[in-house]
Amino acid sequence: MLVYGDHVRAVDVARTLAAPAGDPTADFIALSELAQGLLDAEFEARGCDDLTPLHAAAVADLRARAARLAAAWDGRPAPPPPAAALTGLALPQTVKAKTAEGHAFYAVYPEAYLEAARAVGWAAPPLVLGLRSIGLGLAAMVAEGAGAAEVASLRPVGPPFRRELRIAPGLRARLAAHAGPFAVVDEGPGLSGSSFGAVLDLLEGLGVARERIVVFPSHAGDPGPEASAAHRARWAGLRKAAVDFPALSARRPLATRFEDVTGPVHAVEDLSGGAWRAGRPLPAFPRQERLKFRLRTASGDWLVRFAGLGAAGEAKLARARALHTAGWGPEAAALRWGFLLLRWVDGAPARPRPDELAGYLGFRASLEGGAGASLDELAEMVRVNAGELGLDVRAQIPAVTPRPVQVDARLHAWEWLRTAGGRLLKTDALDHACAHDLVGCQDIAWDVAGAAVELGLSEPEVRALAQAAGADMRLVAFHRLAYPAFQAGLWTFAGETAEVARYRAALEDASRVAA
């Protein structure tokens, strides 16, 4: 199934390399993404990873910002930032970089890797291997915590579940010559753990004993169902260093970070991992969910939801406030440590009226979009996902130029609430257009198609909604294939067979109409 994807964006090199200021976490993440983009561009040009001057400068600058972030975490004065080593090289004005998904979506904190490295008890300084994209910056934090002198970055490439490495002879020789321990750093493991697996295959091939390897994942779990038997068995025998969110937040509990707004918190309810369903028979994908908690206070209840570290969280705060101002979402009161504070709103499940649905999609159409899958990519997704569902579906690409916006992207019927005062709210509306999947920002026609599928709209209702939202019906017809094909793939990975069957039926129905 084609579901996941990484969208790239242009990063201003000089601006990112300017002297660090403000939030050290945001500075660190911004430089991590820039370094990833620069090294990936060099990788594409050279065909392999190597210990180049660019690599050395990127690591040096990341180490400096890691030291600054570590000082802030420890409550120490930050060391004065040295001049960026990268500024001494000939660099482009902009570079294509990927959002660090763990920092943006999955509450992967750089400080967790710092603390994990400090707790290992190294017999000798390790050689730290950071897997791009996010592992490059995290490797700098591990090196800071371990007192390591050497950091090397590697880019696993190839099919998502069968990653491999391309490294130059000089880098391979350096790894083979290292007699001490190795630290292998990345987020995950995910569905297959194949990125970790590729590096571990390399070290194993160089004769490195497993006892010399410490892996630094973002969680203590095993690789997912797509992992090979060999990789799964090896993973079980490796030493793993991971600090989870409860352990990391124990120094300053999340609830206390907002008490200047909420007042004293007398109870915290964890709604993560599908717990928000409260026993209701609703589908969920716990592995992909954002951390979320309900805070109970004398001033009322509040929801704190992970929105992202650095620029990702700031963008979602702005979007949450826009949703509230437009009347479609709860009050957004603050953003702290990557978590967004939202006032809790009680309501009953409700079906939106046609005018409300049109108003909501009209609002979404006003939100300027960013990166997203092309129509060609979506057509390929339809073909592949339909094939895995036993269907032969070909989506004909319409001769229309889409206008990407920040679509809601998922119009599930259970995500509409009506308050006691009659106000309609759309829940979980912040970030599906910038999630870790291939869809991204799309023309508002995507949401019209999604509403048709999720709310069972009649054909006259679909046409009326498309007209009200400013969507071209040719694009709506195309997305009535793409939307269920994507959702079927997503819920396949979640193991929600009833949802897969529902979207398969919607895809089959839409393909008959298209034919």
Q: What's the CATH class of domain 8-247?
A: alpha beta
Q: Give 379: exposed, middle or buried? Use CB within 10 Å, 0-12, 13-18, 19+.
A: buried
pLDDT tens digits for range 364-394? 999 988 889 999 999 999 999 999 999 999 9
| Average pLDDT score over residue span 328-355 | 96
User: CA gyration radius for the chain?
Assistant: 24
Q: Are 81 and 21 in contact (CB under 8 A)?
A: no
Q: Which residue has the higher pLDDT, 32 or 191?
A: 32
**Cis amide leading into 189 (omega within 30):** yes
417-442: average pLDDT:
93
What rounded mean pLDDT belongs to the chain? Answer: 94
CB-CB neighbours of 60 under 10 Å: 15
Torsion 249-253-257-261 (CA) sign: positive
In this predicted structure, the answer to whether residue 41 has a pLDDT above a threshold of 90 is yes
Per-residue pLDDT for 113 more than 80? Answer: yes
Dihedral angle of Cα 73, 75, 81, 85, to the nearest 10 degrees: -30
User: Binning pLDDT at 50, 70 and 90, where does residue 20 land?
Assistant: confident
Give the number of other Cβ atoms within 10 Å of residue 127's Cβ.
22
Q: Of the candidates 109, 129, 92, 122, which has an alpha carbon nearest to the alpha carbon of residue 28?
A: 109
The structure tokens listed for 310 are 């650095």
List, by residue range, all CATH 3.30.200 domains of the chain: 254-343
Mean pLDDT in residue range 490-495: 94
Phi, psi at 304, each rounded to 5°: -110, 130
Measured distance CA(293)–CA(272) in Å, rounded: 7
Contact of 271 with 295, CB cutoff 8 Å: no
Of the candidates 159, 20, 187, 17, the one whose C-alpha atom is nearest the C-alpha of residue 94 is: 17
CATH 3.90.1200.10 region(s) of the chain?
348-514
Q: For helices 459-469 and 445-455, what crossing angle results, to 10°?
A: 150
Tens digit of each residue's pLDDT (9 = 90 or more) over 133-146 = 899 999 999 999 99
Give yes or no for a contact between 235 and 210, defined as CB atoms under 8 angstroms apart.
Answer: no
pLDDT at 251 over 90: no
The string of DSSP letters for 239-264 reads EE----HHHHHTTS-GGGGGHHHH--
Where do runs of H (alpha helix) occur along 123-228? 135-146, 169-177, 194-205
Q: Is the pLDDT of residue 82 over 90?
A: no
- Residue 415 in tokens: 């995500």
Q: Would you say domain 254-343 falls under CATH 1.10.3470?
A: no
User: Which residues are within 8 A (CB) of 342 and not within 5 positions of it... i.e. 6 or more apart?
Assistant: 302, 303, 304, 305, 320, 329, 330, 331, 332, 333
Does the N-terminal peptide bond of residue 218 adopt cis geometry, omega within 30 degrees of 0?
no
Higher pLDDT, 161 or 210: 210
Percent of the chain exceeding pLDDT 70 equals: 100
Measure Cα distances from 409 to 110, 238, 328 in Å: 29, 39, 15
Residue 53 CB neighbours (<10 A): 12
Task: Please state whether beta strands 332-336 and 348-349 pair in parallel, antiparallel, or not at all (unpaired).
Answer: unpaired
| Region of residue 210 (left: phi > 0; alpha: psi -120 to 50; beta: else) | alpha
- Residue 369's pLDDT is what? 87
- For residue 22, the model assigns a pLDDT of 77
pLDDT at 239 over 90: yes
Nearest 10 degrees: Cα torsion 462, 467, 470, 475? 50
Q: What is the pLDDT of residue 58?
A: 97
Q: Are strands 239-240 and 265-270 parallel, antiparallel or unpaired?
A: unpaired
Q: Of the candidates 468, 449, 469, which has an alpha carbon nearest to the alpha carbon of residue 459?
A: 449
Neighbour count for residue 159 (Cβ, 10 Å): 9
* Tens-digit pLDDT profile for residues 443-472: 999 999 999 999 999 999 999 999 999 999
Give CATH for domain 348-514: 3.90.1200.10
Average of pLDDT values for 114-121? 97
